[in-house]
Amino acid sequence: MGRLTDKVALVTGGSRGIGRAVARRLAGDGATVVLTYAQDGAAAAETVENIEKDGGRAFALRAELGEHGDAEALWAAFDAVTGDARVDILVNNAGIGRSAGIATLTEEEFDKVFAVNVRAPFFVVQHALPRLNDGGRIINVSSGAARMALPEIIAYSSTKGALDTFTLNLAKALGPRGITVNSVAPGIIDTDVNAGWLRADPEAWERAAALSALGRVGTPEDVADIVAFLASDDARWVSGRVVDATGGSGL
């Protein structure tokens, strides 16, 4: 029996990278995992297959975030897949990973990154409230960029600061129901999103590793293990916090 047996978890953006690692870890702890994907159905199917090979239970559903009505559509698809199941764990992981600096960022790009990284989690949670069991868990995947000055990705960093503020207020609002709400803030993680500039350039890899006090680039599993802790009963007395998952970057 895993510590999340009989729990149902929704992980947005769960087909690749951090989301995939989170989905696999929660399923490994016994949860039934519903993971969403925006475009890459093959990657989502592969994630589900891997979870099932490991003895877990998972479903994938397509849910492209960033448009009005996206949260309502996501939960309608969730209900269709699960048969109107209740949910115990909600991980808001889907997001746009980078943005331009202030001198070149367009209004359209600004709107898009805020729509996916801020508006979507807000309304995904809003529509989750009637389905979310008391004593449940909400975990928002933020970024270490929210606490460091990185003007080259200023809009992205701003979305993660907004997400942390959302976490703080939501924890207060949902505390009477025994629901904890926390952010996890990764640093530079070795994912497909970062492959173009990180894996392809040994010097960039070395610089990224040097940012961490632990002297290496993070893995998706490093983040997933922290999410799994926050999803468990072991974290029942932690709420409204931003948990650093950068390996001590920028100390």
> What's the CA gap between 143 and 141, in Å, rounded?
7
Q: Judging by beta carbons within 10 Å of its beta carbon (0-12, 13-18, 19+), is residue 195 exposed, middle or buried?
A: exposed
Q: What is the pLDDT of residue 183?
A: 98
Q: What is the pLDDT of residue 100?
A: 87
Residue reference for tokens 């207020």: 169
Q: What is the pLDDT of residue 98?
A: 73
Domain ranges of the chain: 8-187+220-245
Q: What is the pLDDT of residue 155?
A: 95
- Extract the tokens encoding 240: 């409204």
Residues designated as active site:
156
- Sheet of 57-62: strands edge to edge? 57-62, 32-37, 8-11, 87-92, 132-141, 180-186, 242-245
Q: What is the pLDDT of residue 173?
A: 98
Q: What is the pLDDT of residue 195?
A: 73
CB atoms within 10 A of CB 135: 12
Parts of the chain with a pLDDT under 50:
none
Q: What is the pLDDT of residue 97?
A: 79
Q: What is the pLDDT of residue 186?
A: 97
User: Using N-to-C axis directions, what is the helix angle for 220-231 and 17-28, rounded to 10°?
Assistant: 50
Q: What is the pLDDT of residue 67?
A: 95
Question: What pairs with residue 10 in β-bridges?
Answer: 34, 90
Q: What is the pLDDT of residue 130?
A: 96
Q: Judging by beta carbons within 10 Å of its beta carbon (0-12, 13-18, 19+), is residue 215 exposed, middle or buried?
A: exposed
Q: What is the pLDDT of residue 193?
A: 79
Q: Please check whether residue 94 is in contact with residue 12, taking contact to mean a CB–CB distance below 8 angstroms.
A: yes
Pairing of strands 57-62, 87-92: unpaired
Q: CATH classification of 8-187+220-245 is 3.40.50.720, yes or no?
A: yes
> What's the CA gap between 31 and 68, in Å, rounded?
30
Q: Please check whether residue 22 is in contact with residue 92, taking contact to mean a CB–CB distance below 8 angstroms.
A: no
